[in-house]
């Protein structure tokens, strides 16, 4: 991918604490993730989460993105939340990006277990260790590898914004 300016990976990743905003729903979200995964016929680390908190979480994601990124317009309001849950039984992961599904990607860290996420672009790789209650926001093309927990559950939520503008324009690269 040809980008218009040089940048560091750190410049493309917004890390922001939303602990205060989610303190009243965090426990409920964790319970929903654990229950819904246990009800799946096929055990998977990543699954669509049904929650009444979707609009609330997207509001937070949108507001932070709107404050910290270049102006953007949403293509649609088809908001979905994916739960990524690893533990001693389900702990496979792989490098991936979200270029085919979104423009702006985010991960909300509910229960990190001191595990982070690797990002890479071309020859640069960095490791970010978020705290419980952090949200990371980054462009869809950025390759990343979640660090798994092989003991207690590590629970994150993935939210996506599909925009008319390109990630390069939104993230000023």
**Share above pLDDT 90 across residues of the chain, in percent, rounded to a whole number:** 74
**Share above pLDDT 70 across residues of the chain, in percent, rounded to a whole number:** 95
Confidence (pTM):
0.93
Token pair of 48, please? 């669509």
Calculate ∠ Cα 63-171-22, nearest 5°.
30
Q: What share of the chain is helix, strand, coil (3-state, %, to 5)?
A: 25, 30, 45
The conformational region for residue 122 under phi > 0 = left, psi -120 to 50 = alpha, else beta, is: left
Residue 59 belongs to some domain of the structure: yes
Task: Label residue 3 by pLDDT band (50, 70, 90).
Answer: low
- The pLDDT, as a whole number, for residue 5 is 54
When the pLDDT of each residue in the chain is averaged and rounded to a whole number, the result is: 92
List pLDDT tens digits, range 37-87.
988 876 678 899 999 999 999 999 999 999 999 999 999 998 999 999 988
Residue 142 belongs to some domain of the structure: yes
List pLDDT tens digits, range 108-125.
999 998 899 999 998 899
Residue 4 belongs to some domain of the structure: no
Residue 154 belongs to some domain of the structure: yes
Res 1 pLDDT > 70: no
Question: In angstroms, what is the C-alpha Rg of the chain?
Answer: 16
**What is 32-91 written as a DSSP string?**
HHHHHHHT-SS--SEEEE--TTHHHHHHHHHHHHHHHS----BS-----EEEEEE-SS--
Q: Which domain holds residue 56?
A: 9-170
Residue 1 belongs to some domain of the structure: no
End-to-end Cα spacing for the chain: 11
Q: How many helices (H) and strands (E) does the chain have?
A: 5, 9
Residue 2 belongs to some domain of the structure: no
Query: d(Cα 130, Cα 2) in Å, to the nearest integer?
Result: 29
Tally of domains in the chain: 1
- Please report, for the domain that includes residue 51, its CATH number: 2.60.120.620
Residue 137 belongs to some domain of the structure: yes
List pLDDT tens digits, range 96-106.
999 999 999 99
Q: In what helix (H) or strand (E) does residue 108 lie, and over which residues does it extend? A: strand 104-111
């Amino acid at each position: 991918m040809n980008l218009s300016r040089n940048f560091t990976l750190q410049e493309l990743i917004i890390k922001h604490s939303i602990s205060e905003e989610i303190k009243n729903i965090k426990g409920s979200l964790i319970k929903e993730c654990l229950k819904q995964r246990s009800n799946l016929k096929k055990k998977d680390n990543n699954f669509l989460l049904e929650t009444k908190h979707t609009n609330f979480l997207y509001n937070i994601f949108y507001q932070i993105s709107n404050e910290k990124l270049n102006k953007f317009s949403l293509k649609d309001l088809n908001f979905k939340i994916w739960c990524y849950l690893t533990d001693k039984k389900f702990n496979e992961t792989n490098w991936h990006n979200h270029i085919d599904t979104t423009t702006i990607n985010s991960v909300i860290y509910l229960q990190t277990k001191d595990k982070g996420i690797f990002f890479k672009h071309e020859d640069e790789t960095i490791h970010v260790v978020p705290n419980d209650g952090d949200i990371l926001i980054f462009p869809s093309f950025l390759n990343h590898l979640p660090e798994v927990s092989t003991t207690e559950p590590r629970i994150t939520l993935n939210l996506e914004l599909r925009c008319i503008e390109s990630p390069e324009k939104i993230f000023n690269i």
